[in-house]
Structure 1
Amino acid sequence: MDIQQPLSLLGGLTAEQFMRRHWQKKPLLVRQAIAGFVPPVLRSELFALAGQEGVESRLVQSIKGAWKLRHGPFNRRALPALQQPDWTLLVQGVDLHNDAVHALMQQFRFVPDARLDDLMISYASNGGGVGPHFDSYDVFLLQAHGKRRWRIGRQKDLTLREDIPLKVLAQFEAEEEFVLEPGDMLYLPPRYAHDGIAEGECMTYSIGFRSAGRAELAQELLVRLAEDAGEEGSPVLYRDADQNAVSQPGAIPSALLDFAREAMSRALAQPLVLERALGEYLTEPKPSVWFEPGKVGVMLEGICLDRRSRMMYDEKHIFINGESYRAAGRDATLMRRLANERQLSARELLRASDDALELLSSWCDAGWAHVWAGTE
């Protein structure tokens, strides 16, 4: 992607300008970010997705001022009538199930893939919404069908109501108000309060960006570091031949604390162990994701990643779907191109080594990638 190219998606800003001026700083309203936008998912298709096992969906209703929340899957009869006001169906991760939605998300890859999370579709009847709230992540709200009125504000009081099953602000103070029509888009940084109400039937696409908390990230990395901390041969055990008799047995020996500290230091000191753990964590598929074994075919036709595959890299590794591989030289350049472009042409594959072709073939066999006959 040319980050210096002005984008209608960003209201004429370049990706570089947007990231510098707005990302995690202030909202941006873009009229006709995608002019003439035609939703790739019909209402009936969204309802069908909400009925599937393995698809995260929620139904939010406001009935006589009382909020109700239910989790899917939902068959069609479990959903309210279309004419009934004040209800919203939220379907998470639609990009994992629809190629056109996945392609739409690719327009937002001026942000690192390590942050790009998923695309949620919200269907609402007239008056539907989920109440005034804030998110802990960045989000682009793209209006796909109908109209939605958004009220937004920099919220200082983040106290939530305790009497309802939703994370709704107790005291919401709006500063700006917009009505979005199909193709319009609103970007909101984290913790920016917002409340969206459907004006008639509407659908909104939410492109969200994950932001792991420091404690969550530490926990995930420590688990992966522990898996790599095994020692060859006999394990090194704590030894205390010089331990004196104690009159206070409840006290933890300082030598044992030193031993534990050394164990952690040795685990972190292993070459590239932290880098490998981070890359594997960032590319780990969501629990609901599974891959169907594919047909290998003739890869010299070209190859493309499955829409559910997550692929990234650092200076020494290639990561895909929670697995890591050391990579260098020409093959590393090729694999990085696959991670960036999500496809390789027949001409590009001619430069791959036998080992790289064998690896790509195994990914096709696992369903992580597919032979793509649409290349040169």
Structure 2
Amino acid sequence: MPIDTPLALLNGLTPSQFMRRHWQKKPLLIRQAIPGFQALLDRPTLFDLSEREGVEARLIQQTPKGWKMRNGPLGKRALPAVKQANWTLLVQGVDQHVQAVHALLQQFRFVPDARLDDLMISYATDGGGVGPHFDSYDVFLLQAHGRRRWRIGKQKDLTLVEGAPLKILQNFEPEEEFVLEPGDMLYLPPRYAHDGVAEGECMTYSIGFRAPKRGELARELLQRIAEEADDAVGLDLYRDPQQPAVDAPGAIPAPLQGFATDALKELLGDPKALACALGEVLTELKANIWFDEGEAELPVAGVSGLTLDRRTRMMYDAHHVFINGESYRAAGRDATLMRRLADQRSLSAKELARASEGAMDLIAAWCEDGWAHAA
């Protein structure tokens, strides 16, 4: 993606300018970010999607007794009548299920794939919303159908409503207010409080980003490195032939503390192992995503190209390529080709013809697993 070309999507800014001026810094209201934009799926299709196993969906209602939330799958009888006010249906990860939505998400790849998460659709009847709240990640709010009124502000008081099923701010203090119509978009950095209320029936597309917590990421990395450690580390048992008898058995022996310290140092001592684990963690698929194996058509050298499946996550570093939680060493011409595939998410027949026999065998395996398809 050209990063120095002005985009209507970013209010005439180039991606470079947007990232420098706004990303994680301040909001940006963009009128007609996508001129003439229309919802990519209609209400019945979205409702059908919320019924499916493996699709994360939530029904949120504001009632006289307070907020109510119900998790999916949500059958049609679970949803209130569309004429009833004050309810919202949230369907997460729609880009994983609808190709047109996946294509829309690709317009935001001026941010690294390691940070790009998914596209959620919020359907709301008149007055519907999820209450004033803040997100821990960046978000673009694209209006797809109808109108939604947004109030936003730099919230200092982060006290939440007690007992609510959602993280709703108790003392929301808005500073600005906007009404978004189809094609309009609002960017908000992390922890910027906002409250969106539907004015009539509406749909809003939320493009969200991943923001891993330090502790969670460290835990996942340590677990993956430990699982893949060689026998010298993984099976090296603690031994203490010189351990004397003790009269304070509750005390942890100093040699055992040293053994534990050395084990961690050895695990983290190989920077390539850490980099490999990071790539695998970042491309790991969510638990509710799976592929239909064996149904993909294999590319024919010189005839067809290759396209990654919309569910596939593929990245790379200086020494590896990563795909759907797996890693492969890559160097030379094949590494260049695989990096191009990760960046473009496709290869032409001409580009694919440059792949070595080993690379083609790997691509064939990915196609058999449903991770990629002949273009």
Output aligned runs, 1:66-215, within 5 Å. 66-215=66-215
**Conserved 8 A contact 2:299-2:305:** no
Match of 2:254 in 1: 254
The DSSP-based 3-state class of the residue aligned with 1:89 is strand
Match of 2:224 in 1: 224
Match of 1:284 in 2: 284
- Alignment pair present for 1:364 and 2:372: no
Separation (CA, whole Å) in 2 of partners of 1:166 and 1:38: 29
**Conserved 8 A contact 1:299-1:371:** no
Match of 2:354 in 1: 351
**Conserved 8 A contact 1:24-1:189:** yes
- Alignment pair present for 1:47 and 2:50: no
Picking from 302, 305, 313, the partner of 2:305 is 302
Picking from 309, 320, 325, the partner of 2:323 is 320
CA-to-partner distance for each residue in 1:108-139, whole Å, 9 max, x for gaps? 00000000000000000000000000000100
Q: Which amino acid aligns with 1:239?
A: R
Separation (CA, whole Å) in 2 of partners of 1:330 and 1:173: 56
**Conserved 8 A contact 1:304-1:344:** yes
CA-to-partner distance for each residue in 1:181-202, whole Å, 9 max, x for gaps? 0000000000000000000000
Cα displacement (A) at 1:63: 1.7
- Alignment pair present for 1:14 and 2:14: yes
Cα displacement (A) at 1:334: 0.3
CA-to-partner distance for each residue in 1:245-268, whole Å, 9 max, x for gaps? 322111111111111111111112
**Conserved 8 A contact 2:50-2:75:** yes
Separation (CA, whole Å) in 1 of partners of 2:120 and 2:233: 49
Separation (CA, whole Å) in 2 of partners of 1:235 and 1:286: 30
Q: Which range is displaced more, 90-99 or 164-173?
A: 164-173
Match of 1:28 in 2: 28
**Conserved 8 A contact 2:301-2:353:** no
**Conserved 8 A contact 1:291-1:368:** yes
Large movers: runs of 4+ above 3 Å: 232-235
Q: Return closer, same or farther for 1:157/1:184 CA change in 2, 3 Å cut-off.
A: same
Structure 1 alignment gaps of length 5 or more = none
Cα displacement (A) at 1:299: 4.7
**Conserved 8 A contact 2:132-2:172:** yes
Cα displacement (A) at 1:165: 1.3
Q: Matched residue pairs, number?
A: 372
**Conserved 8 A contact 2:50-2:57:** yes
Separation (CA, whole Å) in 2 of partners of 1:201 and 1:144: 11
CA-to-partner distance for each residue in 1:11-69, whole Å, 9 max, x for gaps? 00000010011000100000000000011111111000001010000000112252111
CA-to-partner distance for each residue in 1:140-168, whole Å, 9 max, x for gaps? 00000000000000000111011321110
The DSSP-based 3-state class of the residue aligned with 2:183 is coil
Identity over aligned pairs, percent: 67
CA-to-partner distance for each residue in 1:219-254, whole Å, 9 max, x for gaps? 111110110224159932222233233221111111
Separation (CA, whole Å) in 2 of partners of 1:37 and 1:305: 26
Separation (CA, whole Å) in 2 of partners of 1:366 and 1:360: 10
The DSSP-based 3-state class of the residue aligned with 2:144 is strand
Alpha-carbon RMSD across the aligned residues, in angstroms, is 1.3
Q: Return closer, same or farther for 1:35/1:234 CA change in 2, 3 Å cut-off.
A: closer
The DSSP-based 3-state class of the residue aligned with 1:218 is helix
Separation (CA, whole Å) in 1 of partners of 2:158 and 2:284: 32
Separation (CA, whole Å) in 2 of partners of 1:144 and 1:65: 31
Q: Which amino acid aligns with 1:292?
A: D
Separation (CA, whole Å) in 2 of partners of 1:288 and 1:85: 31
Separation (CA, whole Å) in 1 of partners of 2:14 and 2:299: 40
Separation (CA, whole Å) in 1 of partners of 2:184 and 2:348: 34
**Conserved 8 A contact 1:86-1:127:** yes
Match of 1:56 in 2: 56
Separation (CA, whole Å) in 2 of partners of 1:140 and 1:247: 63
Q: Which amino acid aligns with 1:277?
A: A
**Conserved 8 A contact 2:299-2:306:** no
